[in-house]
Chains A and B, each alone.
Chain A
Amino acid sequence: MSNVNCFLRWYLILFLTGLLLASAWVCRAATPGKADAEALLKQSDRFRNGWPSYVVHVKITDFEAGRPDEEHLYEVSQKGTEKTYVEFLSPREKGEHLLMLGDDMWVYLPDTSRPVRITPLERLTGDASNGDVARTNYAADYSPVYLRTEKVGTVECYVLDLTAKRKGATYQRILYWLRAEDTRPVKAEFYLTSGKHIKSATFDEYGLSDGQMVLQRLTLYDEILHNSHSVLEYSGATPRALPDKLFYQGRADRF
């Protein structure tokens, strides 16, 4: 009898220990640590950058006091996480283009006498800044920390706190909500070095493009003036082999 009791006691102890370890493992899986936050961020970047080398058209509509105000058209060519070339296509900006190479950025204006180096602060101009169009690989620019799980409407989301890890990053800090189901971005808050909340974003629409689920509509809200926002519509995203020469900083003639 005592043997049976001893067996049951050991069985109970082992069972409870196993249960405890399993619970700990499940909890760990549900609350990502640093490594998991980085993996989540990398996965979420795929919704904005579907291929290692691709071209996408971006239409930005600015709204003032709820009414459409201006439209801007861009063709964005991106190769890896370090090279982005943006051609400005709308009439009032025709002939301008922007180049991002790692931490460095240039704007080529047809009416200036040379390519102009862009300082980090100049990347922030407007509701949709140069950085919002040209720097969309957050895993390359920011260190993420998992904060919590939170519902946005009815959507269960992971909340990541991103801190700039390189000087080329557009913002100092981003609070980033990713849908728990598939890590697609849901919303974001952007902060300056001073801690000022400068913009917010909602990632409104996704769709299939060339077999890849990618972001198709993003809205940026100005948190300083509050009465304006910009809608970024992405279309025609296509993988394309882009020559390295397209991203050479000294090539002022772009067409």
Chain B
Amino acid sequence: MHRRFLIPILLLMASVWAVAQDAAESEEGRFQTRYSVEAIDDATFYGNLSAPLPTVLNQVLLEPAFGVRERNRWNFTSSLIGLTATYSDTSTQLRVRETYGGLSAGDFDFTVGRKMVLWGTGYAFSAAGVLDPPRMPTNPTDRLNVNEGRDMIKADWIHGTQAISAAWSTAALAPAGTSLHDTTAFRYNVLVRGFDTSLIAGHDRGGDSFGGLTFTRVVGQAWEVHGEAVWREQAAVLLGAKYTVSGTTFIGEFYTAPNIPCYRDPGVSATAGRQHYGFFSAGKARLRERAGWKEWGVSGSIVANLDDQSYTGVFDASRWFGNHFSSYVHLEVPRGSTTSEYGSAPYSTATSVGIRFQL
């Protein structure tokens, strides 16, 4: 059979299957909807700027999200970002974080559209997350929710605790200035003896092929370990662990990757060779044990380039006011020589303060 007919026929068969299942199933709340709206006003103050730039960046973000699901068959999800940034001038953008439709039929799921895929297991770094949004070790939680998904067609076969996924992602609709390629990727994920393990393989059009392995595992009462090993021209390895004690969570990661374009950070020279990184964070989501501090959350982290011995220290504090409002402080302190990865930042401190509304 000609390959171009295969996908439409598969989709048609899945639709017929879904309709047949609809008819057989009893009525129980046909549509389910979910929505959320988030508004953030964030001001970042740069200390000791080494370039003639404004010292304050103000960003106002409005992030509506909506999802509708028809039983367990069809679904549509959209999440947008409206961003107004005032720095040397004022600019307004509308970004599509995710917008995709899905069809679920038997053991198969089909998805078309822009979607966030999270295949990597690293917290601050990832080599195996070939379709994931980029990780920023100084901001691994994407605190302003500005990451965008990849435009893709994806099919998943899910059976129990194992799944096979096939995805084709186009770079044609990617934001200008990104270095994405059209990517074809496959993943087999299985939970066996507590190991959540994945095998990943794929190819970037006009680029290279890659293959890798990821895992996570809980050990004892307080430890979680995770890792990735990927071959892409050369080996990239991530090993990490999380430890919990008295409600405080510690995360440590070691990451090494070849200095090739898909792994290279902007501050690293193309001639610098293989890079090695360390990451450590400690955080407590809620200071429950201290009277009056229950609404507070604090965390601190450090990310270091072990080759040029530069690092950035990061401190976060947040406080909730009722069920809808919160405020936060995010502080970044880069250190190192002016030619190093983190030391080359044009400021000595970046302090962000903001207020967030969630509905």
Residues of chain A whose beta carbon lies under 8 Å from any beta carbon of chain B: 64, 69-71, 90-92, 94-95, 101, 103-104, 110-122, 125-126, 193, 225, 238, 240-241, 243-246, 248-253, 255
Q: Which of A115, A225, A245 contacts B109 (CB 8 A)?
A: A245
Which residues from A are CB-within-8-Å of B254? Answer: none
Question: In the complex, A250→B215 CA distance in Å?
Answer: 12
| Dominant SS among interface residues on chain A | loop
Given A120-B221, A255-B34, CB of A113 within 8 Å of CB of B142? yes
Q: Which of A69, A92, A118 contacts B324 (CB 8 A)?
A: A92
Given contacts A113-B120, A121-B244, A255-B77, 5 further A-B contacts (CB under 8 A): A114-B118, A119-B224, A121-B245, A122-B244, A249-B196
Which residues from B are CB-within-8-Å of A94? Answer: 34, 36, 358
Which residues from B are CB-within-8-Å of A117? Answer: 196, 216-218, 224, 226, 242
| A111 with B141: CB separation less than 8 A | yes
Size bracket of the B interface: 35 or more
| A91 with B141: CB separation less than 8 A | no
Q: Is B194 an interface residue (CB 8 A)?
A: yes
Question: In the complex, A111→B359 CA distance in Å?
Answer: 16
| B222 with A119: CB separation less than 8 A | yes
Which residues from B are CB-within-8-Å of A252? Answer: 116-118
Which residues from A are CB-within-8-Å of B156? Answer: 251
CB<8 Å pairs between A and B, sample of 13: A69-B294, A90-B323, A104-B194, A104-B218, A112-B140, A113-B120, A113-B126, A119-B218, A121-B221, A241-B25, A248-B163, A252-B118, A255-B77
| A245 with B158: CB separation less than 8 A | yes
Which residues from B are CB-within-8-Å of A104? Answer: 191, 194, 196, 218
| A112 with B28: CB separation less than 8 A | no
Interface segment among B1-9, B67-75, B201-209: the answer is B67-75
Question: In the complex, A114→B36 CA distance in Å?
Answer: 20
| B109 with A92: CB separation less than 8 A | no
| A193 with B104: CB separation less than 8 A | no
Residue of A nearest to B69 (CB): A255
Which residues from B are CB-within-8-Å of A92? Answer: 320, 323-324, 326, 358
Question: In the complex, A38→B136 CA distance in Å?
Answer: 51
Which residues from A are CB-within-8-Å of B115? Answer: 253
Which residues from A are CB-within-8-Å of B218? Answer: 104, 117-120
Which residues from B are CB-within-8-Å of A250? Answer: 163, 189, 196, 198
Which residues from A are CB-within-8-Å of B109? Answer: 245
| A113 with B191: CB separation less than 8 A | no
Instruction: Tell me how far the C-beta of B106 lies from the nearest C-beta in chain A, rounded to whole angstroms.
Output: 9
Question: In the complex, A117→B217 CA distance in Å?
Answer: 8
Query: Residue-by-residue, is B88-113 near A (CB-CB < 8 Å gives 1, otherwise 0)?
Result: 00000000000000001001010000
Q: Give me the 6 closest cross-chain CB pairs, A-B, nearest first.
A: A255-B67, A250-B189, A111-B141, A117-B224, A94-B36, A120-B221
Question: In the complex, A119→B118 CA distance in Å?
Answer: 20
Instruction: Tell me how far the C-beta of A167 lies from the nearest C-beta in chain B, rounded to whole angstroms.
Output: 8
Which residues from A are CB-within-8-Å of B120? Answer: 113-114
Question: In the complex, A117→B227 CA distance in Å?
Answer: 13
Question: In the complex, A169→B165 CA distance in Å?
Answer: 32
Q: Specify which of B109, B145, B158 lies most central, judged by the most chain A CB atoms within 10 Å of its CB.
A: B158
Given A94-B358, A120-B221, CB of A126 within 8 Å of CB of B323? no
| B75 with A70: CB separation less than 8 A | no
